[in-house]
Structure 1
Amino acid sequence: MLNLRPLIRNHIWTNVGDGTTTSAWFDKWDEVCPISTIVTPRCIANAGFNMNTQLAEIYVHGEWMWPDSWISRFPVLLSLRNLVLVHTQQDKLEWRSRLGLRTEFSTFTVWDDLRQSQNEVLWSNVVWFSQAIPKHSFFMWLIVHKKLKTHDVMCKWNSSGNMNLNLLCCSLCTSGPDSHEHLFFECEFAAQVWNGVRDKACMDTIQNKWSVIFDFLVGIANSKKAIHVIAKLVVSAAAYFVWEERNRRLFTSKRRNKNQLVEVILSTVRMKLHTMRFKRSIQTARVLQEWMLPRGLLVADDECG
């Protein structure tokens, strides 16, 4: 957190009221502030002030109380704006955005100002979309960046090369490698799970190969059609629960068969669909029938959301 201080400092400004709670030297209440970056602590002490001096103590009746010699030594002080202390108002901290706008503090504003902005990637709406299940979205983000701790990834961390090769086997089928590509969904067990759910997303012609599945999702990423939203939900849920089952078998003695996992995936997506609304059409009426959803979810004008 302390490492963020240099990034945050210039965004936190004081909207000066009576000046009694604003540090004269360390707070930012003007473009040239903080004054401590201009005037040295020795000069402050020699002028009879201390590090705890408040703004109201050095700006009295419209006059600066510091020595006249400071102006010649630190001419930038001449650019300080003329303050008007309002004794009936308290000082107030505000957030100034990177565009220079003063706004109320919020975590969203802080994050948006501090983060490094980049162009939106083509797959953003595959991972982050309004109908998504948050933990599934985060998991999909890990898959896209290949951040899952599969054995082939962890093997690269072992510089000695002495990792037991038996540990590299997939815990679901025990015959393939424990890797992103194998788990989603080339593994024999994972493929059976995928084959059990893909029809529900009208993806029955899509191969059980992650690159093919992902390319299909990128192609429909911005679509608001119900069937395309469902496709994204089904894929993310299938990947999430396959990974969960992989870990369950790797670290415990518990296991679920293919049919149980298929039912968990479909019931999870079905519960999410119960929270959505669908634009009334022949296609969405079929979707509701396919997923055994009440017709009350159909609306006349709004798209699913």
Structure 2
Amino acid sequence: MGRQDYKPLIEQIRRRISHWTNLFLSMAGRLQLIASVLMSIANFWMSSFILPGECIKEINSICSAFLWLGPALSLKKAKISWDIVCLPKREGGLGLRPLKEANMVSSLKLIWRLTSQQGSLWAKWVHTYLICNGNFWAIKESTSLGAWIWRKLLKYRDKAKVFHRMEVHSGKSTSFWYDTWSDMGHLYDVVGPRGCIDMGIRATASVASVFNRQKRAHRVDVLNQIEAVLENQRLKAVDAEDTPLWKQKEGTYKNLFSTKRTWHLIRQAAPIVNWHTGIWFQQATPKYAFCTWLALHNRLTTGDRMITWSSSIDPACIFCQHGIETRNHLFFECVFTAAVWTKLTRGLLGTHFSTNWDSILSLLVSNTLDCRVRFLVRVVFQTSLLSLWRERNERRHGSTPTPSASLVKFIDRQVKNKCLSIPVTGNQRLGALLQLWFASQA
């Protein structure tokens, strides 16, 4: 597939983004549009075509630029690499699925359609005109038949072999050499072309066609193992259709293709971060959670980071003017921010109260706290973080400072609104939240 072939996809994505120029979207809002709209467009294409690497790279660049700077699509100010953004939330990312991995899963799904033959018109056409009564696994990659997508699919067979296998009943539709019907895998890959000669079994033979063959003794151990496996399968043969299976997890195969489970099996998982449940909890406000996520990755433009960009920038804390403004200082070691945090959470946390960043993070995921207290601490933490960060930015740009009492009042109002927004019915664990909050502020 050349650039002219996938150019309509790129133009469609850019056109979608251009329609959002008049929307005042937060980064969390743009993230939602990327996940629900832009990725859906790409996934639709990948369901029918195998996108080249250059196309995926360009889509990733567009999505990254839109996430960080909106429709301007500038590529120079990404706060966090796109690879981290596309990690699952439990691994420190934002839960987007990498297009490269999604592209591979879509390719494997096309192979599943070919090998399972479950009513796909496209699969029937391929079997008629490209496979031509042969075996999909036996076709040479250098074949001149078919378009580029067909030859690309042939290159994915080695990856698909790990997932596909046949459950043999009668053995009539299972290739002896090329299908995985035993724990030995593809027998042709095990013994090569010489194995067909040594065992006296044609390369095109089905499992059923060799059931009546007389067992032989061989000098090579692997051939004797194949004979034993074949004998065992002969004893279990029944008059029923063979069933194609797809790997769901280690040691488990089913007669269905699961996109999610296949993706989990092909990807290289990153370490799980211990704070993800404290940020991406149910009822979390997306824009608050997004800002907190940035802070946890230490990607807010605090003074200690800005001084590395330009020596003319004053890195001192804008609130207290004491020391360099770091993330940990701003939340909540600074006298000003500590006063806000103390007013809001001391009554709620009691002996667990702390202004230390790491201690607060441990409280967000702690099982020692009552679930209602933990929920309120999470809400207060995220709301305070974004509110103080906005106040910090406004002061940096010369706006009139807001007193700490006004900030406390604003955050208190946001917490109350969140408590009121949670339905009382169906969530007994979070009952009486508002009463608990009022009691802690008394």
TM over 0.5: yes
Give the TM-score category using the shorter length. 0.5 to 0.7
Helix, strand or coil at the partner of 1:38: helix
Q: 2:319, 2:392 within 8 Å by CA — same for their partners in 1?
A: no
The separation in 2 between residues aligned to 1:202 and 1:179, in whole angstroms, is 25
**Aligned length, in residue pairs:** 274
Question: Which amino acid in the other structure matches residue 421 of structure 2?
Answer: H
Helix, strand or coil at the partner of 1:58: coil
Helix, strand or coil at the partner of 2:382: helix
The separation in 1 between residues aligned to 2:219 and 2:265, in whole angstroms, is 38
* Alignment gaps of 5+ in structure 2: 1-100, 109-155
The separation in 2 between residues aligned to 1:226 and 1:217, in whole angstroms, is 12
- C-alpha displacement at 1:127, in angstroms? 4.8
Write the mapping of 1:47-126 to structure 2, written as runs, cut at 5 A: 49=203, 57-61=205-209, 63=211, 72=220, 74-75=222-223, 76-80=225-229, 81-82=232-233, 89=241, 91-98=243-250, 100-102=251-253, 105=258, 107=260, 111=264, 126=278
- C-alpha displacement at 1:239, in angstroms? 2.8
Write the mapping of 1:282-301 to structure 2, written as runs, cut at 5 A: 286-287=435-436
- C-alpha displacement at 1:15, in angstroms? 3.5
* Alignment gaps of 5+ in structure 1: 292-305
Write the mapping of 1:1-305 to structure 2, written as runs, cut at 5 A: 1=101, 10=162, 12-16=164-168, 27-40=179-192, 49=203, 57-61=205-209, 63=211, 72=220, 74-75=222-223, 76-80=225-229, 81-82=232-233, 89=241, 91-98=243-250, 100-102=251-253, 105=258, 107=260, 111=264, 126-127=278-279, 132=284, 147-150=297-300, 163-167=309-313, 169=315, 173=319, 175=321, 177-187=324-334, 190-191=337-338, 193-195=340-342, 197-198=344-345, 201=348, 206-217=353-364, 220-240=366-386, 242=388, 259=406, 263=410, 266-267=413-414, 270-271=417-418, 274-275=421-422, 277-278=427-428, 286-287=435-436
TM-score (normalised: structure 1): 0.56
Higher deviation after alignment, 167-176 or 71-80: 167-176
The separation in 2 between residues aligned to 1:230 and 1:245, in whole angstroms, is 22
TM-score (normalised: structure 2): 0.43
The separation in 2 between residues aligned to 1:233 and 1:170, in whole angstroms, is 28
Higher deviation after alignment, 238-247 or 180-189: 238-247
Q: 2:172, 2:209 within 8 Å by CA — same for their partners in 1?
A: no
- C-alpha displacement at 1:82, in angstroms? 0.6
- C-alpha displacement at 1:241, in angstroms? 5.0
The separation in 1 between residues aligned to 2:233 and 2:339, in whole angstroms, is 74
Alignment match, 1:296: none
The separation in 2 between residues aligned to 1:95 and 1:180, in whole angstroms, is 45
The separation in 2 between residues aligned to 1:170 and 1:7, in whole angstroms, is 54
- C-alpha displacement at 1:14, in angstroms? 3.8
Helix, strand or coil at the partner of 1:40: helix
Q: 1:24, 1:58 within 8 Å by CA — same for their partners in 2?
A: yes
Q: 2:303, 2:314 within 8 Å by CA — same for their partners in 1?
A: no
- Going from structure 1 to structure 2, the CA distance change for 1:120 and 1:162 (only over 3 Å counts) comes to closer
Q: 2:383, 2:414 within 8 Å by CA — same for their partners in 1?
A: no
The separation in 1 between residues aligned to 2:284 and 2:335, in whole angstroms, is 27
Question: Which amino acid in the other structure matches residue 333 of structure 2?
Answer: E
Counting aligned pairs with the same residue, the percent is: 18
The separation in 1 between residues aligned to 2:384 and 2:276, in whole angstroms, is 19
The separation in 2 between residues aligned to 1:152 and 1:211, in whole angstroms, is 18
Helix, strand or coil at the partner of 2:245: strand
- C-alpha displacement at 1:130, in angstroms? 5.3
> In angstroms, what is the RMSD of aligned CA positions?
5.8
- Going from structure 1 to structure 2, the CA distance change for 1:246 and 1:191 (only over 3 Å counts) comes to same
